[in-house]
Chains A and B, each alone.
Chain A
Amino acid sequence: MKKLMARHETYVLTIIVIFSIVISIINPNFLTLENTFDLLKSYAFTGILAIGVLLVLISGGIDISFAAVATIAEYLTVSVCIAMGGSMVSAFLLAIAVGVLLGSVNGLLIHRFSIPPIITTIATMNLYYGLLIVITKGKWIYALPDFFRSFADVRVITLQTANGIPYGLSVITVIWIILMVITALMLKYTRLGRSIYAVGGDRISANRVGLNVAGIQVFVYGFMGAMAAVAGIVQALLVQTVAPNSIVGKELNVIAAVVLGGASLAGGIGTVFGTFLGVMLLAIVQNGMTLMKVSAVWYDVFVGLVIIISVGFSSWKQKTGGRRVKIDVREDLPELAAAYGGSGTDTERENH
């Protein structure tokens, strides 16, 4: 119980439950399977981007360029699919290849020239997005290939409303869930995953225990690129239109969701489950305001308040409670520990 109380996720979950109860009292349509499925589909785009951002934040970096990467992967893939045909599988593979390439460039620049990640990614954001506009002249693509249209309507579970209208768990949501599970397992159980925490917790120590910091940084930004690419395709599936300016500008919303879910901007802290809760909290607040018949002028005010309350409460609780995140080299990275005799190589940090 005490351990549970110390976890950031517990607070976010509590706030989600309280919100859900309040919204449901005002509008019983909120707590229906149909609304839940609709939300899980709509927010898959933000959610997938959030997975990538989470890894970058854990490694102690930040990425502003992912929206531009997502747009380029989306635009290029859809253009190729229109010109040469293909399938959903080839579309995802091509997009991911583009995303990994552009993302790795970020990682290489950051490591090679030691430029602060925020500056590097602001620069690459402008570069990527600018080139896209120069080459495409801002042209929108309306006529997506048929397999984009049909794939977007695929449901894994199909139910019917009282009026006989089908709804259900979209394949897009399933993609999101699979990516979350894979990432969570990687972070928790693989050497690579634990190394990302170690680099974010204390880069110098991580370097001293012999971790390949350069490789990990390139991996993290490459992974961000891959997630951005998948999110770009998901966006195309959701709106059935590709516009060069439709994703750029949503960066802060995604970063806010990840931080809301407990990741630290200082690095070393964060979980996939927390990130999922952060995304859902934002989703529920934005969804709930229309359902509670709140006037649109108040939307931003409420979103701001919810962020302050949930992050503030959790930080305050942790400050008074105290909490350490510990990467135990002996436990998490046994082969390294063996090589170095396992003493004096723990990386750990205070959480404030």
Chain B
Amino acid sequence: MRKGMKVWAAAALILMLAGMPAVFTQGQQAADDSYEIVTVVKITGIPWFNRLEEGVDAAAKELGINAYQIGPADADPAQQVKMVEDLISKKVDAITITPNDATALEPVFRKAREEGILIITHESPDQMGKDVDIELIDNVAFAQRSWDMLVEGMGTSGQYAIFVGGLTVPLHNLWADEGIKYAQEKYPDLELVTSRIPCGEDQELSKQKTLELLKTYPDLKGIVGFGSLGPPGAAQALKEKGLAGKVAVVGTVIPGHAAPYLKEGSMTKGILWDPKDAGYAMNWVAKYMLDGGDFRSLKEIPGVGPVSVEGDIIKVDAMVDITKENVDSFGF
């Protein structure tokens, strides 16, 4: 009797394990004749890429494609390579991807294209091995706009500091480089008090660093923060010290997060592009190209905006200012 029970238990376990993969796969069971377009993001489970997924889902619904999003649990290039390899064996029609590491992905991109799979990248303009890259902002214009915003808040002269997410995050440091260069030409009276501080991905640390900056440079008049947690941390510190509105705070923020600080006046303005647009645009372009369209003759992505094509990069100007007036209209 007991032995019989054990056999049954084992059989049940095996059945359960066999059923498991189906539980974890998401949304791949669509009609066979529609294009299968997979978006691979840098990391899953953070607000930015959750918002991007909304764009992917919107494209799937509106364009009649089988589009869905996957990504590693942490920002690991090796896992992205593995995912692309799996998608090649699965023979999908197109892969749209925000690479964690441009170089690491180059070989699998070539392999995918040999198999006839379309590769569309995002946030990786210098990527090798792709078919086409889509950028939602012009990085130089983005940096310059950030500094213009800073000047709107603090005036054309005075001391300011820069926060970045990390000293090796490519985009943040590119923006900082471009912004400093721009400031030297256009706003020569701005004085950067110290080298960029790597705290922008940690709100508590940004708050602490702002408190320290205020004690070290009492005349500080502005902070530019890249990495979505820098400006809120700075705003919190200013509020605590009764300096809300007296020191300008601008930078990249998630609207839903920045709303209270913008409304109470401790944050001046935010700047961003909507990742949902990126998710939608990548899938729209993928379908357009799979249908035989040529991206060089592309003039507009419906619902996202007019585009300009430079080489194999499609640029859309989707940069938006986030102010206390419009902050509630973004929906993320």
Q: Which of B271-301 contact A (CB under 8 A)?
A: none
The answer to whether A290 and B204 have CB atoms under 8 Å apart is no
Q: What is the CA–CA distance of A287 and B207 in the complex, to the nearest angstrom?
A: 12
Q: Is A319 an interface residue (CB 8 A)?
A: no
- At the interface with chain B, which of A103-111, A130-138, A201-209? A130-138
Closest to A287 in B: B212
B91 within 8 A of A: no
Closest to A299 in B: B198
Chain B residue nearest to A248 in the complex (CB): B74
Q: Does A4 contact B (CB under 8 A)?
A: no
A42 interfacial by beta-carbon distance below 8 Å: yes
- Assess whether B242 is interfacial by the CB under 8 Å rule: yes
Instruction: Decide: A240 near B204, CB < 8 A? Known: A138-B50, A297-B167.
Output: no
Cβ contacts B204-225/A at 8 Å (1 or 0 each): 1001110111011000000000
List residues of B (160-186) whose CB comes within 8 Å of A's CBs: 167
Contact of B216 among A27, A133, A239, A299 (CB under 8 A): A27
A212 within 8 A of B: no
Question: Which residues of A have CB within 8 Å of B55?
Answer: none
Give the complex CA separation of A181 and B202 in angstroms.
Answer: 30
Chain B's closest residue to A166 (CB) is B242
Which residues does chain B contribute within 8 Å of A14, judged by CB atoms? none
Q: Is the CB of B212 within 8 A of A291?
A: yes
Over the window 256-273 of chain B, the binary record of Cβ atoms lying under 8 Å from chain A Cβ atoms (1 yes, 0 no) is 110110000000000000
The answer to whether A340 has its CB under 8 Å from any CB of chain B is no
If the complex has contacts A42-B207, A241-B232, A296-B194, are A138 and B216 also in contact, measured as CB distance less than 8 A?
no
Q: Which of A129-179 contact B (CB under 8 A)?
A: 130, 133, 137-140, 142, 163-167
Which residues does chain B contribute within 8 Å of A297, judged by CB atoms? 167, 195
> Inside 8 A of B66's CB, which chain A residues have their CB?
none
Q: Would A142 and B256 count as touching, CB distance under 8 A? A: yes
Known: A42-B204, A130-B73, A297-B167. A138 touches B196 (CB 8 A): no
Contacts of A42 in B (CB 8 A): 204, 207-208, 211
A133/B73 contact (C-beta < 8 A), A35-B215, A165-B242 known: yes
Q: How does the 8 Å CB contact mask read for A32-64 relative to B, with 1 for contact and 0 for none?
A: 001100100010010000000000000000000
Q: In whole angstroms, how far apart are the Cα atoms of A167 and B242 in the complex? A: 10
A297-311: contact bitstring with B at CB < 8 Å (1 yes, 0 no)?
A: 101000000000000
Q: B45 is contacted by which of A29, A133, A246 (Cβ under 8 Å)?
A: A133
Which partner residue on chain B sits nearest A289 by CB separation? B212
| C-alpha gap A245/B45 in the complex (Å) | 9
* A313 CB, nearest partner CB in chain B, Å: 27
Known: A290-B209, A290-B212, A296-B196. A241 touches B257 (CB 8 A): yes
When distances are taken between beta carbons in the complex, the residues of chain B under 8 Å from A235 are: 204
Give A235 to B205 CA distance when docked, in angstroms: 11
* CB < 8 Å neighbour of A29 from B203, B215, B232: B215
Asked if B215 and A140 make an inter-chain contact with CB atoms under 8 angstroms apart, the answer reads: no
Give 1 or 0 for each of B37-73: 1 = CB within 8 Å of chain A CB. Answer: 0000000111100100000000000000000000001
Say yes or no: B202 contacts A246, CB within 8 Å: yes
Residue A295 CB within 8 A of the other chain: yes
Q: Does B87 reach chain A (CB closer than 8 Å)?
A: no
Smallest beta-carbon distance A302→chain B, Å = 14
| Nearest CB of B to A38, in Å | 5
- Which residues of A sit under 8 angstroms from B46, Cβ to Cβ? 138, 245
| Interchain nearest-CB distance for B29 vs A (Å) | 20
Residues of chain B in range 100-128 having any CB-CB distance to chain A below 8 Å: none
Least CB distance from A320 to B in Å reads: 38
CB of A244 within 8 Å of the partner chain:
yes
Rounded to whole Å, the gap between the CB of B312 and the closest CB of chain A is 32
Taking the complex as formed, is A3 at the interface, i.e. its CB lies under 8 A from any CB of chain B? no
Cα(A305)–Cα(B311), bound, Å = 49
Contacts A133-B45, A290-B213, A297-B167 given; indicate if A165 touches B241 (C-beta within 8 A). Answer: yes
Residues of A within 8 A of B230 (CB): none
Q: Is A266's CB within 8 Å of the partner chain B?
A: no
A38–B207 alpha-carbon span in the complex (Å): 11
Contact A140 B202 (CB under 8 A): no
A2 at the interface (CB under 8 A from B): no
Is the C-beta of B146 less than 8 angstroms from some C-beta in chain A?
A: no
Contact A139 B204 (CB under 8 A): no
Are the CB atoms of B212 and A295 closer together than 8 Å? no
Selected contact of B203 from candidates A241, A293, A295, CB within 8 Å: A241
Docked complex Cα distance between A286 and B236 (Å): 19
> In whole angstroms, how far apart are the Cα atoms of A140 and B256 in the complex?
10
Find chain A residues with CB under 8 A from B196 CB: 296
Residues of A within 8 A of B213 (CB): 290
**Distance, CA A342 to CA B170, complexed state (A):** 66
A238 an interface residue at 8 Å Cβ cutoff?
A: yes
Question: Contact: A142 with B257, CB < 8 Å?
Answer: yes
Q: Cβ of B233 < 8 Å from any Cβ of A?
A: yes
In the complex, chain A residues whose CB is within 8 Å of the CB of B232: 239, 241
Q: How distant is the Cα of A239 from the Cα of B242 in the complex, in angstroms?
A: 17
Closest to B210 in A: A290
* Inter-chain contact B236/A293, CB cutoff 8 Å: no
Chain A residues within 8 Å of B195, by CB: 295-297
Query: C-beta contact mask, B70-105 vs A, less than 8 Å → 1, else 0?
Result: 000100000000000000000000000000000000
B245 to chain A minimum Cβ distance, whole angstroms, is 14
How far, in angstroms, from A165 to B211 measured CA to CA in the complex?
A: 14
Contact B215 A27 (CB under 8 A): yes
Chain A to chain B contacts (Cβ below 8 Å), 13 pairs: A42-B211, A138-B45, A140-B47, A142-B260, A164-B242, A165-B241, A238-B204, A239-B203, A239-B204, A244-B45, A246-B202, A287-B208, A290-B213
9 extra interface residue pairs, beta carbon distance < 8 Å, beyond A133-B45, A293-B194, A295-B195: A138-B44, A142-B256, A142-B257, A164-B242, A165-B242, A240-B260, A286-B208, A296-B194, A296-B198
Task: Please list the 4 inter-chain residue pairs (A to B) with the smallest Cβ-Cβ separation, ordered nearest first.
Answer: A138-B45, A290-B212, A165-B242, A29-B215
